[in-house]
Amino acid sequence: MPSVAVVGTQWGDEGKGKIVDWLSEEADVVVRYQGGHNAGHTLVVEGVTYKLSLLPSGIVRPSAVSLIGNGVVIDPWAFLEEIERVQRQGVSITPERLRVAENCCLILPYHGELDRAREGNKKGGGIGTTGRGIGPAYEDKVARRAIRLCDLSDSEVLAERLDIALDHHNSLRSALDLALIDKDVMVEELMKIAPRLLPHQDSVWQILHRSRMKGERILFEGAQGAMLDIDHGTYPYVTSSNTLAGSISSGCGIDPKALDYVLGISKAYSTRVGNGPFPTELLDDIGQAIGERGKEFGTVTGRKRRCGWFDAVMLRQVVQMSGVDGIALTKLDVLDELSEIKICVGYELEGKAIRCLPSSAKLQALVTPICETLAGWKSSTEGVRSLEQLPDEALRYVKRIEELISAPVTILSTGPDRKDTIVIRDPFSSTAH
């Protein structure tokens, strides 16, 4: 049976949650493999809105097992609060339905405090992080001083690990005029919640291996977007993990050959939250109108998203880097009222045309878009559920995107409900490749 990955191809907020939720009807296992609770997925299921951060979107599907891989960093208090909140909405979340990699690294209170202190102290403004400690937690992971979920099984081991972590963090906190962390208090707080966390811990890589051997359908759910990748995104205005499809193997311990289909998710226009370059950004009434019609506010932070035209140059770059087999194009209906729609087909940098986004942050900021203009359709596509119902101009817009990014649009989303979906090719079908 095929394994499918759903990855963001822009700067996040592309509508991955809805697509993962829709695909999870066919999946036996749904896996998160990177990021933390800086991710945000909004699902609308039979009129009920679910806002998820750490939990895989498949959690609302009773038939699917949800896994959180070792590439995810977990704030244990935020994790438990999210479980309780979603349970209050009638979703059953048991250790049998939700398994968490025992080697997941934890986000502790001092990570968030450090994150916020750094953002506030940076000259010229911060990067625009969510302030939730994701970056500092990944720093500890790479520096080999992180506390992992399995460490909560033994208070003596936990105390030893905290000695190493706090030797570093208390030095930083002293320099930042923050109160020092009391190790004994931290051990006590973690051991207090350990009985609620540990029933969920497991060897996720072994679960996935067994699932593959049984021929089960596995769905991998990415967080953030490709242009926030720590290596290949608009550095330094990026997240702290790898967001491309290649990070799936290391993020949950599955054989890289196990991945059969990569579905890239893209809005029919572009958005990003926080600071950083944005070649097609619209700072006019059109950008404002797109943001209002698309309800462009962050699921996690509530921050207003910056809006711009569809960037085919950037998306073609991501298609090549992530091995995207097909695109799910979301929020097509947001463009319904525009008489003209532009697509970025190239960049200009210092008087020369270029065909990819440079790595240098300085050069990225100097890039200007080369756009072509298409006619709008000036009619409603909201809730449309077949290609035959789409206006000709909307079909031409989709076709032009396919030509420019060298990948087919296999799914179209025309509204927030999971039923507002046009399926041209099902990624789980045997004809996907």
CA distances from 232 to 17, 68, 70 (A): 23, 24, 21
**Residue 260 appears among annotated catalytic residues:** no
Triad 232, 287, 394: Cα angle to 5° = 85
Helix (H, G, I), strand (E, B) or coil at 200: helix
From 13, 21, 75, 115, active-site residue: 13
- CB neighbour list of residue 113: distance below 8 Å, 6 or more residues apart: 133, 173, 178
**Residue 140 appears among annotated catalytic residues:** no
Phi/psi for 63 (5° steps) reads -80, -15
For 340-394, strand residue ranges (E) read 340-349, 352-354, 368-375
- Distance CA(64)–CA(26), nearest Å, equals 9
DSSP state, 171?
A: H
Q: Which long-range contacts (CB under 8 A, 24 or more apart) does 209-215 make?
A: 209/254, 211/28, 211/29, 212/3, 212/254, 212/255, 212/258, 215/1
Most distant CA pair in the chain: distance in Å? 67
Q: How many CA atoms lie within 13 A of 143 on its CB side?
A: 16
425 residue type, one letter: R
Phi/psi for 400 (5° steps) reads -65, -40
From 21, 37, 41, 229, active-site residue: 41
CA distances from 149 to 77, 223, 226, 299, 330 (A): 13, 20, 27, 26, 36
- CB neighbour list of residue 270: distance below 8 Å, 6 or more residues apart: 10, 11, 278, 280, 281, 307, 308, 309, 310, 311, 314
Q: Which residue has the tokens 């919640």?
A: 193
H or E segment and range at residue 420: none
H or E segment and range at residue 144: none
Phi/psi for 343 (5° steps) reads -125, 135
- Is the separation of the CB atoms in 226 and 7 below 8 Å? yes
Residues in the chain: 433
Could you give the residue numbers annotated as active site?
Answer: 13, 41
